[in-house]
Amino acid sequence: MHLIAQDLVNGILAGGILAVVALGFSLVWGIMNIINLAHGAFIMLGAYTTYQLFTSFHVDPFLSLPVSFVLLFALGYLIQRFIMNWVARAPVLTTFLLTFGLSLLIVNIALNVWTGDTRGVTTAYSGANFTLGDVTVPWAKLFTLLAALAITGVMQLWLTRSRTGRAIRATSMDIGAAQLSGVRVTEIYAIVFGLGAGLAGVAGTLISLSYALNPSMGDLFLVKAFVVCVLGGLGSVPGALVGGLVYGIVEAFATQIDVTVGGQHISGSGLQDAIALVVLLIVLIVRPTGIMGKATA
């Protein structure tokens, strides 16, 4: 019984990070119809930003959250403004190639700067945890979850209440009508792509507290972002949160599978991703627009 409770808690803790990992990816895809293959590279840059600030200046990882956000926002904004806008509204394959190339470029620059060595951010509280009944909760992961919840909450408020947020949603519904209302679409797209990158940076910072760093770490998280965002519903902030939590919990329970079939021992930890993808398939069969997704407007 206590295993189930522990798995649930682990799943929720991991799910918070996954929600932030998917959030920016989902916004860019849902609003601009760009599947940003450089999202993983942006996450990696966020993680290394935190690593560098921590090792060089002893900045607490949580304090580097705004730095990661601002740096990656600026990078994303400039990339959209000066590169991606050339292929705005191009077929998906074009943006696919472009973002894939960007990803290769960024990862290789990172390899030159930080080498391929595995790095870690180990703070004074890295190993600290507390127990609640039979359940162990690491402090760092708890604060990571709280930060993730705060970030998704702020994003949702900003998108629904602010002038720019409203313009972003309007542009995603009808570009022409948004232009006739005075919206400059290239500017909105640059902001959205910047936001996607900034959120990836924030995700990287949160990841650096619990995972090892290397320049190609982004690939794994790109795949997870893809699954979470399809699971939760494209372009939806609550969707990213729910998708992240569901994915995290499913993965956590999958690790407990331990069966022997015909003399073949099968352990869940090796099957984590396979099981998560099966869940994705089932959700898509039952609800093709994702858990929180709306029927196409």
Partner 1 sequence: MNATANALVIEELSAGYGDTQVLWDVSLRVEPGEIVALIGSNGAGKSTLLGAVSGIVNTWSGGVRYGSAVMSGLEPDRVVSAGVVQVPQGRRLFGSLSVEDNLRMGAYLRRDREVDADLEKILAMLPRLRERYDYLAGRLSGGEQQQVAIGRALMARPKMLLIDEMSLGLAPVLVDQLIEILARIHATGVSILIVEQDVQTALEVSSRAYVLETGRVTLSGPSAQLLDDPQVKKAYLGV
| Cβ proximity to partner 1, 134 vs 174, nearer residue | 174
Site mask, partner 1, residues 177-216, x = CB under 8 A?
xxxxxxxx--------------------------------
Is position 88 an interface residue for partner 1 (rule: CB under 8 A)? Answer: no
Nearest to 73 by CA among 24, 146, 115, 130: 24
Taking the C-alpha atoms of residue 131 and residue 38, their distance in angstroms, rounded to an integer, is 38
| Cβ proximity to partner 1, 169 vs 287, nearer residue | 169
For the stretch 75-95, what's the b/e string if a residue is b when 16 or more beta carbons lie within 10 angstroms of its beta carbon?
bbbebbbeebbeeeeeeeeeb
Strand (E) positions, 96-221? 129-132, 135-138
Taking the C-alpha atoms of residue 229 and residue 145, their distance in angstroms, rounded to an integer, is 18
| Least spacing, CB of residue 225 vs partner 1, in Å | 24
Residue position matching structure tokens 């995700």: 203
Using CB under 8 A, pick the residue from 91, 133, 176, 263 that binds partner 1.
176
Interface with partner 1 by CB under 8 A: which range of 129-137, 166-174, 191-199, 238-246? Answer: 166-174
Using CB under 8 A, pick the residue from 132, 259, 281, 297 that binds partner 1.
297
Write phi, then psi, for 264 (nearest 5 degrees). Answer: -95, 120
Tell me how far CA of residue 214 lies from CA of 116, 175, 245, in angstroms. Answer: 6, 39, 25
Is position 90 an interface residue for partner 1 (rule: CB under 8 A)? Answer: no
Chain positions 265 to 294 lying near partner 1, rule: CB under 8 A, are 294
Interface with partner 1 by CB under 8 A: which range of 115-123, 124-132, 161-169, 248-256? Answer: 161-169
| Cβ proximity to partner 1, 37 vs 183, nearer residue | 183
Number of Cβ within 10 Å of residue 52's Cβ equals 17
229 close to 29: Cβ distance less than 8 angstroms? yes
Strand (E) positions, the chain? 129-132, 135-138, 258-261, 264-267
Is position 169 an interface residue for partner 1 (rule: CB under 8 A)? Answer: yes
DSSP string, 190-211: HHHHHHHHHHHHHHHHHHHTTS
Is position 4 an interface residue for partner 1 (rule: CB under 8 A)? Answer: no
Is position 89 an interface residue for partner 1 (rule: CB under 8 A)? Answer: no
| Cβ proximity to partner 1, 40 vs 235, nearer residue | 235
Interface with partner 1 by CB under 8 A: which range of 28-36, 52-60, 173-181, 254-262? Answer: 173-181
Is position 91 an interface residue for partner 1 (rule: CB under 8 A)? Answer: no
Is position 174 an interface residue for partner 1 (rule: CB under 8 A)? Answer: yes
Taking the C-alpha atoms of residue 297 and residue 291, their distance in angstroms, rounded to an integer, is 16
| Least spacing, CB of residue 280 vs partner 1, in Å | 25
Binding site for partner 1 (CB under 8 A): 163, 166-167, 169-170, 173-174, 176-184, 294, 297
